[in-house]
Amino acid sequence: MMKKKHFERRHLVELLMKTIMRIALIIVASSLGLILWTIISRGLPSLTWDMVTQIPKGGYYMGKEGGILNAIIGSIYLASGGTLIAIILSLPIALYLQAYAQDSKWGDYVRLSLDVLWGIPSIVYGAFGFALMIMLGMRASLLAGIIALALVELPIMTRAMDEVIRRMPKDLEHAALALGSTKFEVAVRVVTRQMLPGIITGVLLAFGRGIGDVASVLFTAGYTDRIPTSLMNPTASLPLAVFFQLGSPYPEVRERGYAAALILTIIVLFVSFASRWLASRLSKYSVK
Amino acid sequence: MLRVTRYKEKIMDAHIQVKNLNAYYGKQLALKDINIEIPKNQITVIMGPSGCGKTTLLKTFNRFFELTENTQLTGEVLVDGENIYNKDIDVTEVRKIVGLLAQRPSPLPMSIYDNVAYGMHIHHMRKNREEYKDGVKHYLEIAGLWEEVQNRLNEPATSLSIGQQQRLCLARGLAVEPEIILGDEPTSALDPISSQHIESRLLDLKKQYTTIIVTHTLRQAKRLADYVIFMYLGELIEAGPAKEVFSNPKHERTKQYLEGLF
Amino acid sequence: MNQTLSKISEDIKSHRTKQDLFASRTFFVLTVFPVLLIVIITVALYLRAQPILSEYALTDLLYGEIWKPNQGLFGFRPFILGTIWVTAVGVILSVPACILVSIYLAEYAHARTRTIAKPILDLLAAIPPVVYGVWGLLSIVPFVDDVLAPLSKGRLDSIPILSVTQPTGFGILAGGIVLAVMIAPLIISVTFEVLSTVSNDLRHASLGVGATQWQTIRNIVIPQTLPGIIAAVVLGASRALGETIAVLMVVGNVPKIPTSIFDTAYPLPALIANNYGEMMSIPLYDAALLGAALVLLVVILIFNILSTLVLQRMLRRK
């Protein structure tokens, strides 16, 4: 005869663990809500049109007129430049890993070093960039910031691409090889087209990381109230604008720092949603 | 319904009764209104072409069907007259009483000894170390593996050959004292000699256990079956004592299948 | 006619093969870059840190307690211990919850729950450090000050590591809480991936003899994946070690050896970030700060290489 549900210890433990796990999930998920709520509720009141359309005027850092357009533009320049350089490096690396080194020892080393690079904190990239700049006699500039960001973004982008391309169905590739294509042609024609969603995900992920990164540009890009007109100009960036304004003794300026944090959050969330949307849209057109 | 009731009086002692069972994967119907009774202490073989729902049916007997996500079930499966899908039934108790021998042997990542002792520990079935040792020995003997492994009980179970692993899994299943053994094509991954080992174990054990085997090989069905269920496209086509079904199938589909037409 | 055709096709063929060879070589050269980059970063930092390493013994630097660059005193001990304290608090707060969440997502949750949880974790990972810092400043620091510190006072105060020493809310606990949330997405996603390497056959073998799901997880899934779970935690810890701006904003930045989680601390990354402006004006200051970056790098490299090796092996088995 079958025993009915009876509360042995192990069933109590089961119930208990499941409940604790649910609570843990709720805590983790609600921390996102708390963060967003804090940023929105404190940032929104001081967010003005001027902030996103003007550069700092004379007394901006004492609470007078102006905005942080310089930082917004600067960040977009920095992250776009960094992303561009990172694409030029990562796309071939990711394709090589897939086309030539899928299960090779060398492929493992490259992946290992990319993962390790991913783990290196951006402050170290910043310090490295700074060390290079001293050696080369360079000054803080848009270009130096772009290079530092490219290094930060490279492993993120490459590994994201690599992971997505890895999931590509293998028969398609073999079919193309069987039709007489060389591996290079397979890589470029089939893989790129098939994996466009993955590539875009990787690129936007890296861009999002780049635009929010502080520690690497702190040393390398400098800070200025002007919008850079050349690669050799120093440039402001949005995360640094947040950071500097929060350090101000003027409450109005700190309030604007919160608003700047809100702007940054909106940009990053937008990029994140865009990549999700694009990836799901584009994947409709590829063979699954 | 009628087809089944025809044999009903012949099954004196039904161990499992299936009533109006429908099973869905997502929206796709995998089992259509199954009604069947399975005799106690005999070997019942479920056969049919692949995709006919035989494994699905088997998985409803130990409530493994619900482990697949997005599945749904209506109807009843009664074991000893009790619906195992009742809300107040303890699912782990069902799986203790209804043991499963999987398609591929799945030794747990521990020693040979611990594999057999695993279920006994889970259910606290023995009092002390000595009793566990005796238990492990007993069930390894029943599974016909004791001779081969008695000197290497502490080696990892994965060091055994595939055939030995499957017998180990049998011992592990028997150690929790089930009343019913399910076998999901239990020899399909094995070489002929290992298969024969398993088959002869199952024949030995049928006096004490109700055994239900899913198989896709007709010859194995003929060797093992006391009672046969034939399924096609999620429906139960024919069921009855093995001799009758094999020698004189009532249904056209069964006849075609037995003749090897599909 | 036929001959020219085959000639042309041969030309095309050899051109295509050449193209393939050229591409594979170029691509190969590029793959050397990431491997090389790690070496270059380490060497460059070492070269810039060299002046101070030749001036002082390494043990003096690491164990020295006094930091007065303009007097030539470069004791890293308070900063190293500050880093360890903040990281440890972050990891201790984060890891239990993260592992439970991963287990829940991998073993219990419906596909629907997973499709909701995934974007939430992605967004948590996407939020920039400075925004975490703002959140810490606006929510966590007051929370520590108004809720946690009073809670500890008079009750747990007698335990040294919980004694409330200063009244601002800035400090190790605030930094640890912010870090705990920041490293959660990483630990959860890696642990989840590790847990999904366990084959369902094993789970079913355990469930099949009547084990509960938790018994299956505890007896089969966790022992099987423990190295990977530890690697995930180590990855999370090394992420916490290097986190700069968010921690800097809430941790107080006082170069004193901490003794309680309510103390302020001054972790290494914060030290580097806060002083980059003046580091060229004092002798050896830049070497000291880049040396700090080197110390950080070496520790993180060791952590990362070990955990990545473990994970590569585990995930490959899948």
Query: Which sequence spans correspond to the domains of chain C?
Result: 81-283+291-317
Integer Cα distance of C172 and A129 in angstroms? 29
Cβ(A219)–Cβ(A123) below 8 Å: no
Name the minimum distance, in Å, from the CA of B247 to any CA of chain A.
37
Which residues of A are less than 8 Å from C242 in CB distance?
119-124
Predicted structure pTM score? 0.91
Chain-chain contact of C138 with A182 (C-beta, under 8 angstroms):
no
Chain-chain contact of C210 with B172 (C-beta, under 8 angstroms):
no
Subunits next to C (3 or more Cβ pairs <8 Å) are A, B
Domain count, chain B: 1
Integer Cα distance of C18 and B140 in angstroms? 63
Q: Which of A1, A3, A4 is closest, CB to CB, to B80?
A: A1
Residue C318 CA to chain centroid, in angstroms?
25
Of all residues in chain C, the one with the smallest CA distance to B183 is: C208
DSSP alpha helix (H) spans, chain C? 2-55, 58-63, 77-103, 111-126, 129-135, 141-143, 149-152, 172-195, 200-208, 213-216, 222-242, 245-250, 268-275, 285-317
Chain-chain contact of A2 with B88 (C-beta, under 8 angstroms):
no
Q: Which domain holds residue B203?
A: 2-258
**Domains, chain A, ranges and CATH?**
91-285 (1.10.3720.10)
3-state secondary structure of A68: coil
- Retrieve residue A111's tokens: 């992946």
Q: Mean pLDDT throughout A259-275?
A: 94
Q: Does C243 touch chain A (CB under 8 A)?
A: yes
Question: Roughly how many angstroms between the first and final C-alpha of chain A, as a whole number?
Answer: 50
CATH 1.10.3720.10 fits C81-283+291-317, yes or no: yes
Cβ atoms within 10 Å, residue B247: 8
Question: For residue B57, with 0-12 CB atoms within 10 Å meaning exposed, 13-18 middle and 19 or more buried, which class applies?
Answer: buried
Name the minimum distance, in Å, from the CA of B100 to any CA of chain C.
6
Chain-chain contact of B102 with C220 (C-beta, under 8 angstroms):
no
ipTM: 0.90
Domain at B250, CATH number = 3.40.50.300
* Sheet with B71-79, edge to edge strand ranges: B28-39, B14-25, B71-79, B82-83
Q: Which of A17, A112, A117 is closest, CB to CB, to C214?
A: A17
Return the percentage of chain C with pLDDT > 90, whole number.
Answer: 70
Contact residues of C toward B, CB < 8 A: 110-111, 199-202, 204-212, 215, 219-220, 223-224
For every one of its 318 residues, what pLDDT tens digit does chain C have, with 9 covering 90 and above?
Answer: 566 666 666 666 677 777 777 777 777 888 899 999 999 999 999 999 999 999 898 888 988 888 988 888 899 999 999 999 999 999 999 999 999 999 999 999 998 999 999 999 999 999 999 999 999 999 999 999 999 988 888 778 788 888 887 778 999 999 999 999 999 999 999 999 999 999 999 999 999 999 999 999 999 999 999 999 999 999 999 999 999 999 999 999 999 999 999 999 999 999 999 987 777 778 888 899 999 999 999 999 999 999 999 999 888 755
Q: Which of A32, A109, A134 is closest, CB to CB, to C35?
A: A109
* Sheet with B210-214, edge to edge strand ranges: B98-101, B180-184, B210-214, B43-47, B227-232, B235-241
* Per-residue pLDDT at B5 exceeds 80: no
What is the Rg, in whole angstroms, of the alpha carbon atoms belonging to chain B?
18
Chain-chain contact of C129 with A213 (C-beta, under 8 angstroms):
yes
Of all residues in chain C, the one with the smallest CA distance to A32 is: C124
Cβ(A191)–Cβ(A165) below 8 Å: yes
Which residues of B are less than 8 Å from C214 in CB distance?
none
Chain-chain contact of C207 with B106 (C-beta, under 8 angstroms):
no
Integer Cα distance of A65 and A61 in angstroms? 9
Q: Give, as one character, the DSSP assignment of residue C138.
A: I
Which residues of C are less than 8 Å from A128 in CB distance?
41, 44-45, 293
